Amino acid sequence: MEQEQIFAHTLFQIGPVVIRDTVVTTWVVMLALWIACVVLVWRLRASPGLIQTAVEGAVLGAEDAIRQVLPQHVALVLPFILTLWTFLVVANLVGLIPGLHSPTRDLSATAALAVLVFLSVHWFGIRSQGLKDYLRHYLSPTPILLPFHIISEITRTLALAVRLFGNMMSLELVALLLVWVGGLLVPIPILMLHIVEALVQAYIFGMLALIYVAGAIQSQQLRQPEQGESHA
């Protein structure tokens, strides 16, 4: 097994910019999803077919999952969380195509997703509370905890990136090792394992992002009882 079969490798370079296979695969996935969305919107029917029914079911499932966490902000959060889930499912499963690898096996890709979640959490928090009230929750219940809040934000972002990277990298590594050792005797179990693990990892990443967003949006609501108790 060559190292480039497992780890991301450089395809070409434009000046100082290095283009890896992860970047190309990610852009192909985004383009495919964009085309699929355009086609689905163009072919919407009052009497949906199998594909439209499946897509509508996925959207309703995402709405229900978000409603369990943020019942009053489903419409606000749904586009981001559903897009994140959709991209992760496709990106994790693209490794099943011969000659391609999941971009999420590259730490740079998962780090970019984690940073996107990090920025989105603060954007949703500021949008729902305002900048002043949102920043104030970092000083609650006492300004002494500000460094710990900052460390918590950084560590959970790192954990989000490393968790997805580690699981997808280990999944592809195990699959390559088993195929290398067992040949064609083990393709179906590996295929099923890859599909299940890819879906699970996409769901976990999206749910963690949803929980972080919910914490940012509801931080003001959680602080109000504390303020009421202090006045009492």
Residue 221 has pLDDT above 70, yes or no: no
Buried b (16+ CB within 10 A) or exposed e, 5-28: eebbeeeeeeeeeeebbbbebbee
Residue 170 has pLDDT above 60, yes or no: yes
Strands (E), the chain: 10-14, 17-20
**What integer best gives the mean pLDDT of the chain?**
83
Residue 116 has pLDDT above 60, yes or no: yes
Mean pLDDT value of segment 25-49 = 87
At residue 188 the predicted structure's pLDDT band, cuts being 50, 70 and 90, is: low
Residue 9 has pLDDT above 80, yes or no: no
What's residue 53's pLDDT? 86
Using CA atoms, how far residue 65 sits from 68, 89, 207, 215, 222, in Å, is 5, 16, 9, 15, 21
> Counting every residue, how long is the chain?
232
Using CA atoms, how far residue 164 sits from 103, 113, 169, in Å, is 11, 10, 8
- H or E segment and range at residue 101: none
Q: Is 53 exposed, middle or buried (0-12, 13-18, 19+ CB in 10 A)?
A: exposed
Mean pLDDT value of segment 77-94 = 93
What's residue 160's pLDDT? 93
- Model confidence, pTM: 0.83
Mean pLDDT value of segment 109-117 = 94
At residue 227 the predicted structure's pLDDT band, cuts being 50, 70 and 90, is: very low
Q: Work out how many domains the chain is built from and give that number.
A: 1
Question: Is the distance from CB of 20 to CB of 8 less than 8 angstroms?
Answer: yes
Mean pLDDT value of segment 145-159 = 90
Among left, alpha and beta (phi > 0; psi -120 to 50; other), residue 18 is beta
The domain containing residue 25 runs over which residues?
A: 3-231
What's residue 231's pLDDT? 41
